[in-house]
Amino acid sequence: MTASATALDVLRRLVDGNRRFVSGEGVRDLAQEHARRLELVADQAPCAIVLGCSDSRVPAEMVFDQGLGDLFVIRVAGNIVAPSQVGSIEFAAARYGVQLVVVLGHSQCGAVLASLEELERPSENRSPNLGFIVNSIVPNVEPLYAAGGADDRATLIRRAVRANIRASAEHLRHGSDVLERLIREHGLLVVGAEYSLETGVVDFFDGLPPEADRPAAVRRD
């Protein structure tokens, strides 16, 4: 099944919002958000679900120039997938009919860097909780490290960030009966994207529909 028009419309909306953010032409203001807050007391109707990293430099609402109630955001270091994250996404997708899930990672991700360091110098002092995050990422980046990527550290980090995003998106597509059904029967689209700390640009690079079905806004020359 191809992605529904609704999912593609939302994808275009996020791309356009990111372009406004990058250019400094955001349309949100505090007065608008104050009025919107009162409208949202009864319920919410988010247009997209974002599983993002908890890094303070990547607030999804700002990056996509969206306001209160527009995005259902789950943030965790390394944008990893665990039962609580999957359950939250299942809830929002099923309850609110959200058609688009974005796994949003970013350049120079600290959790990915920690995972690469774990491969280089295993730590015995890391807390069990932090260890869970690192151990969730290590399998996603270990093949790159084993292939000799350590000879070019910058390239290794870039590839590892994207490999980790892809792995999380793939887990959501195939690790939940609820999400698999929504993908199959209702056109739910799960995509992976990377935010550049250096430029502010979000690059949607994983899980996009075939080129003919993609909105022009996300095509990459």
CB of 100 within 8 A of CB of 7? yes
Distance CA 23, CA 161 (A): 25
Kindly indicate the confidence band of residue 221, based on its pLDDT and cuts at 50, 70 and 90.
Answer: very low
Q: Check residue 3 and give its pLDDT.
A: 52
Q: Check residue 38 and give its pLDDT.
A: 77
pTM of the predicted model as reported, rounded to 2 decimal places = 0.90
Number of separate helices (H) and strands (E) present in the chain: 8, 5
**Residues 43, 45, 49: CA angle, nearest 5 degrees:** 125
Q: Report the pLDDT averaged over residues 99-116.
A: 95
pLDDT, greater one: 151 or 47: 47
Distance CA 133, CA 40 (A): 33
Quick check: 119 pLDDT over 90? no
Q: Report the pLDDT averaged over residues 77-81.
A: 96
Phi-psi sector, 69: left (phi>0), alpha (psi -120 to 50), beta: left
Q: Check residue 1 and give its pLDDT.
A: 39
Range with the poorest average pLDDT among 24-38, 51-65, 94-108, 169-183 = 24-38
Q: Report the pLDDT averaged over residues 43-61.
A: 96
CB of 94 within 8 A of CB of 184? no
- Average pLDDT over the chain reads 89
Q: Check residue 32 and give its pLDDT.
A: 77
pLDDT, greater one: 26 or 102: 102
Q: Check residue 46 and give its pLDDT.
A: 95
The residue whose two tokens read 């698999």 is 180
Distance CA 193, CA 102 (A): 7
Q: Report the pLDDT averaged over residues 179-198.
A: 97
Q: Report the pLDDT averaged over residues 103-129.
A: 88
Q: Check residue 212 and give its pLDDT.
A: 47
Query: For residue 46, how many C-alpha atoms fall within 13 Å in the half-sphere facing its CB?
Result: 25
Q: At what angle do helices 110-120 and 153-174 cross, to 10 degrees?
A: 110
Quick check: 175 pLDDT over 80? yes
The CATH number of 5-218 is 3.40.1050.10
Q: Check residue 14 and give its pLDDT.
A: 97
User: For strand 100-106 and strand 71-75, is the pairing parallel, antiparallel, or unpaired?
Assistant: unpaired
